[in-house]
Amino acid sequence: MEENLESNNQVNNEISDNTNKSNSEAIKAPKSEITNMNENKSKSEDNPAPNVDIKNENRTPANTVPKPIKELPIEKKPFQEFINIHLIPSFKEEIYQRGLEINNINLKNTNRPIAGDKCWVINCEIKDTCTFWLSFEKEDISSLKSISLSKPNQNPSIIESFLIDEKRITLKLIISRVLQRLNGQKLLGVN
């Protein structure tokens, strides 16, 4: 029986040594860690599932929906693309809606009517109505612009500035102002 007591004493001594070591380690730990340990201990008592800290870097990111790439406004596209793909077809549509027909419309880097300087010119011949030349000083829709008009089979005699006060040039604005000029000369029908 004494042997039994001795072995029990040894086990008790080892347990007390381990307890003393853990208590001394707890004392050395900063207060914040002790507080966290106590919080975790109380949480684990309430929730039987073990509390596992998961680092943010291990989490897989939620599937994010990529933002759709905004298409460049047509007015910001390259000059020739804007004119040939957007302006000319839109202008043709407007003329056809008014019951008129376009014989010829094109964009060329040529001499401006009357002035004779080289620039980008849209030449448009509307059947039995008129011919107009819309000129751009540079390969840019915001550059200085002018317009000249004439009756069929005649040369233009006047060159007028076009959209000089507008800060923002748009497709609709160009078309509406060309139509306004043609209508002002009573070329598109009754005012």
pLDDT (tens, 9 = 90+) of the chain, 191 residues, equals 445 555 555 655 555 555 544 444 444 545 555 455 555 554 545 555 555 555 555 565 567 777 777 777 888 889 999 999 999 999 999 999 988 999 999 999 998 888 888 999 999 999 888 899 999 999 999 999 999 999 888 888 889 999 988 888 999 999 999 999 988 887 776 54
Partners of 126 in beta bridges: 102, 130
Domain boundaries, the chain: 2-58, 74-184
Are residues 104 and 131 in contact, defined by beta-carbon separation less than 8 angstroms?
no
Alpha-carbon gap, residue 105 to 96, rounded angstroms:
13
What global pTM score does this model have?
0.60
Per the listing, tokens 């089979």 go with 153
Question: What would the two tokens of residue 153 be?
Answer: 């089979």
Q: Say how many residues make up the chain.
A: 191
Are residues 129 and 152 in contact, defined by beta-carbon separation less than 8 angstroms?
yes
